[in-house]
Chain A
Amino acid sequence: MTPETMQRKDLLGIAELSPAEIELILDTAESFREVGERAIKKVPTLRGRTVINLFFEASTRTRSSFEIAEKRLSADNVNFSTSGSALEKGESLIDTALNLQAMAPDLVVIRHGHPGVPHMLAKRIKAGVINAGDGAHEHPTQALLDAYTIRRHKGRLAGLKVAIIGDIEHSRVVRSNVHLLTKMGARVTVGGPRTLMPVAMAAMGVEVAYTLEDALRDADVIMMLRVQLERQGRMSFPSVREYFQLFGLTTARLAAAKEDVIIMHPGPMNRGVEIASEVADGPYSVILEQVAHGVSVRMAVLYLLSGSYGEAA
């Protein structure tokens, strides 16, 4: 049963959301998708509210998605990114938070390379904080837009078999998705090289596979993760070529999955590393749709977090 309201100041992760709250966000996103189909893609709902986008990590995709979502809700937004700002000049996170607080924003969207940073911020400022990605910890709006996309194609989440493949160790997308999909009754298998698989992954309620075929078997949904071998630095994988040989998704290897499988990717893609172009551009891919749904989902999150609920921040 969908609750009527969301009584939260912040969206820091999927781990703390109930299935009912997740349903609420996805259902609300539906209304905002409709707004995105109008000639005038704007509603006055957050008129006069200020949203600050605080991106300590470079990001074109997520940031522009949030920006568009904010503008479509008629909010005023301000962007802080790392280059050339105080963020780069070594200002401590605490000072940044206090300065932000002094500007009295209504919502802050933050992406940072270190886990726990949105949580630190949320404790110190009155504004609602939306986690746009904190290190390898969580990326809640990504998991929500992924779930929205799956639901539109499959009509449900419960009972689906979802395979997530790639650099599991360093991926926040995987963690958020595992939380969400398991909460909503899907079965998740994560697959990837042993050197990029966290030791205790099974404790998160997923099956672990070390070959592509095992991971993909009977999958309804395949999520490919971006592999950044240059980021590994810790001797995890010898070369891009070997990675593609073992784990690259090609049309031939798709055979193990279900006939009506859909292929997803949080972007940006490394064509020829984790996914072959033929698959990325092929009939099973819903990758571009994910991007479109990102705006609707983020509008829903911004809308739901901007109520007042009598709680002193």
Chain B
Amino acid sequence: MKILGQKLNRRFFLSLFSLSSIAALFPTKVFGISDYRRDKNIPKNYIQNRDRPGFFIRSANPFTGVVTDEWNLSIGGMVENPIELAYEDLFGFKTISQVSRLKCVECWSAKAKWEGFLFQELINKVKPHSKAKYVYFQSADSYYESYTLEELTRPRVLMVLRMNGQPLSKDHGSPLRLIAPFKYGYKNIKYITSIEFSDSRKRNYWANHGPYSVDGTVQPGIDHPLDFKKKPLTINGGEVFHPFDKRPS
């Protein structure tokens, strides 16, 4: 016998009462925490870090992507107006585009055209308290990142919806990611699901799991740009511009 296309057996009944099944009934929340990991769907041959020509893919956890219809963005913490936004709501903000490099702490960089909106748009909506100097991001792939509020209001920091003329792909953080070109790639969180304003700084994923700093500002050193055959080029620190890159006016 089949119900909703599922064969009725012991496994079906057990799974009906599992946490993941309850999550499926309430797809955007599990006990107040957004969770879009679909670990069961991750293929056995899944490769987490993929050196794709032009733009390498890096992620902290195996993840196959967000279901946009089930996604929402919650913004809260020390704010006057906590809100939840659906994907469509993000297109109500003024869109800006820029070409900038994502500089990975592992030493490569890749360039793309990013389109999105300024973080200031979200500030205007939620009105953070004057003591809220820090912002904590969480993502659908159980990643987390922290910034000072001041950093997020600098020029060329974008909440990104599109990349190279297309909606963000699953590999690059659909439906919403952050691009802060003066920070290493690991700070440019993908699959954002929640944003929390606070008066104290939280640590980020890679400071807790690896040898990388919470701050993550791109330091002076060497870069191996993928669009220059990974040949080593010196960088000054901050946003990376190579001699062949067009600088913003």
Tell whether A pairs with B.
no
